[in-house]
Amino acid sequence: MLSLLATKPSLHWLGKQLFNREDPAAFFDPLLERINPMWVRQYVPARVQAVVDETADTKTFILKPAARWGGFVAGQHVTIDVDIDGVRRTRTFSLSGAPAQWKNEGTVSLTIKRLTGGLATNWLHDNLASGDVIGMGEAFGDFRLPEADEPVLYVAGGSGVTPILSQLEAMAQRGYQAPVTLLYFVRTQADIIGAEKLHALRLNWPALTLRIIATNEGESPEYLKDTHFDDVPGVNARRCYLCGPKGLMDLAGELLAKRGIEEDRIHSTFFSVPTATLDGDSLGGEIHFSRSDIKVTSEGDAVLLETAEAAQLSPQHGCRMGLCHQCSCRKTSGTVVNRLTGRASGPGEETIQLCISVPRGPVSVDL
C-alpha cells in the first residue's frame, strides 16, 4: 500500500491528506456532509426537530444532537456552527431546557433572540426549519446551581433568562426545597420568554417566587432599584445569579455588593464579552506553528486562531470569544496580547487561548 502511494501522484496526495493531517475528520467531513450530515465527525451534528415561537423576536429551536454529544448541566452554553452564504459562522447560545430533556428525549432547546443587524440570529430565524442539520459543540460554562439546596435570587433581563429557565426546571425536577426568587425584567408582558414554562413552574413548585417587571408599560420606565430587593425575604443570605443586558447586571451587582453579599456568592453570565483597544502598531509578527512546521507572518490584531486557519490548519475551537477554553494551546516562546483585557503575556512557555491571543513579535505555538 505504502509503495503504491509513493509511485502514483494522485494516491500520494490522498495518502498525505489521510496520514499527515492532524485531524482526518477535516478531510472526510466534506464528503460525508453530502451523503448524510449526521455522519460528520469534526463537530456534533444536530437535527432541528421543531421551532417554537416564544415572542415576536424570539424562537426556541428544539434540536436532536447525534448520540455522541456529551450532555450538559443546567446553566451551560453551546456553540453552534451554520454556513451562511458559504461561510461557516460560530455563535454561542445557552441551553434553555433542563438536562432531563436530553437524558429522556435526546433533545435540547436553544432559545434565540433576533439581534437588530445581527447576521446569524436573523439567519437562524429566517432559514432554520425542522429537518435541517447544524453543527453543535460540547457544553461549557460555570454558571451552575449550588450543590446543596440554599436560598437563591435570580435577576434576569430579556433573553438573559435562557440559562435560568434551564436551571429553574432542573431545580423543580430535583424537588429543590429552599426559596428561589426570580426578578425578571422585560420591556412589556409580550416580551416574556418562556412565559408558559415559568407560569407552570410557579403553579407546581411552591419554592419559586416569580416577579416579572415590565419596564416600559407604565407612565415612566421601571428599572431595577434597591427596593426590589427589599421584597425578597432573607436576600442577604441568598446565592445570586445574574444574566441580562450589561447595564442591568452591573447595577444588580453593585446593589447586591452594597448589601454586603460577597463576590463569590454572585454568579454572572455575560452574553457579550468586552474587548480592549489594542495598539495596532506593535502587533503582529512571525508565527511558527511548530508541530506542523509552518511559518507565517501575521499583521495587526489578527488572533492566532484566524492565522492558523488561514494557514490551512484546523485547531480545535468553540466559542471564538475566550469563553469555552476549547482552543487552549501551548505557546513555547514569544509574547501575545489578550484581545479581551489588553494585557501582554510573558515571553516564555505557557497555555494560551488561540481565539483571543494576538502576537506581539515572533511567537512559536505547539500546533
Ligand X SMILES: Cc1cc2nc3c(=O)[nH]c(=O)nc-3n(C[C@H](O)[C@H](O)[C@H](O)COP(=O)(O)OP(=O)(O)OC[C@H]3O[C@@H](n4cnc5c(N)ncnc54)[C@H](O)[C@@H]3O)c2cc1C
Q: Pick one of 59, 77, 317, 331: the residue that binds ligand FES (CB under 6 A).
A: 317
**Cα distance between residue 306 and residue 298, in whole Å:** 10
Locus of grid cell 491571543: 357
> Among 15, 106, 118, 245, which residue sits at the site for ligand X (rule: CB under 6 A)?
118
Q: How many residues form the binding site for ligand X (CB under 6 A)?
A: 20
**CA–CA distance, 307 with 220 (Å, rounded to integer):** 50
Chain centre distance of CA 57: 20
Member of 125, 288, 320, 360 binding ligand FES (CB under 6 A):
320
Applying CB under 6 A, among 61, 69, 102, 271 the residue interacting with ligand X is 271
* Residues binding ligand FES: number (CB under 6 A): 12
- List binders of ligand X among 300-329 (CB under 6 A): 323
> Which residue, 156 or 252, is less far from ligand X as judged by CB?
156
| String marking each residue 72-111 x if it binds ligand FES according to CB under 6 A | ----------------------------------------
DSSP 227: H
298 binds ligand X per the rule CB under 6 A: no
- State in angstroms the smallest separation of the CB of 78 from ligand FES: 11
Decide if 168 contacts 182 (C-beta within 8 A): yes
In the chain, DSSP assigns E strands to 44-55, 58-65, 77-84, 87-94, 108-113, 133-136, 152-157, 180-186, 208-214, 239-243, 266-269, 284-289, 294-299, 328-338, 350-353, 357-365
Distance between CA atoms of residues 4 and 89, nearest Å? 40
| Residue 94 touching ligand X (CB under 6 A) | yes
Q: Least distance in Å: CB of 11 to ligand FES? A: 35
Shortest separation between residue 316's beta carbon and ligand X, angstroms: 18
Amino acid letter, 348:
G
SS3 string, 271-296, reads CCCCCCCCCHHHCEEEEEECCCCEEE
Per rule CB under 6 A, is residue 329 in the interface with ligand FES? no
Q: Report the C-alpha gap between 30 and 267 in whole angstroms.
A: 41
Cβ proximity to ligand X, 5 vs 73, nearer residue: 73
* CB 324 to ligand FES: min, Å: 4
Q: 10 Å Cβ neighbour count for 211?
A: 12
The closest alpha carbon to 328, from 298, 356, 364, 362, belongs to 356
Stretch that binds ligand X, among 5-13, 92-100, 275-283, 347-355 (CB under 6 A): 92-100
Q: Is 16 or 88 the residue whose CB approaches ligand FES more closely?
A: 88
User: According to the binding rule CB under 6 A, does residue 160 interact with ligand FES?
Assistant: no
Binding of ligand X by 197 (CB under 6 A): no
Q: Is 142 in the site for ligand X (CB under 6 A)?
A: no
Among ligand FES, ligand X, none, partner that 353 touches (CB below 5 to 8 angstroms by kind): ligand FES
Q: Which does 117 bind (CB under 5 to 8 A by kind): ligand FES, ligand X, none?
A: ligand X
Query: Is 162 among the residues that bind ligand X (CB under 6 A)?
Result: yes
- For 183, residues 6+ apart whose C-beta sits below 8 A from its C-beta are 153, 154, 155, 156, 211, 213, 224, 228, 232
SS3 state at 115: coil
Q: Which residues of this protein are in contact with ligand FES, per CB under 6 A?
A: 317-320, 322-327, 353, 355
Q: Which residues of this protein are in contact with ligand X, per CB under 6 A?
A: 77, 91-94, 111-113, 115-121, 159, 162, 269, 271, 323
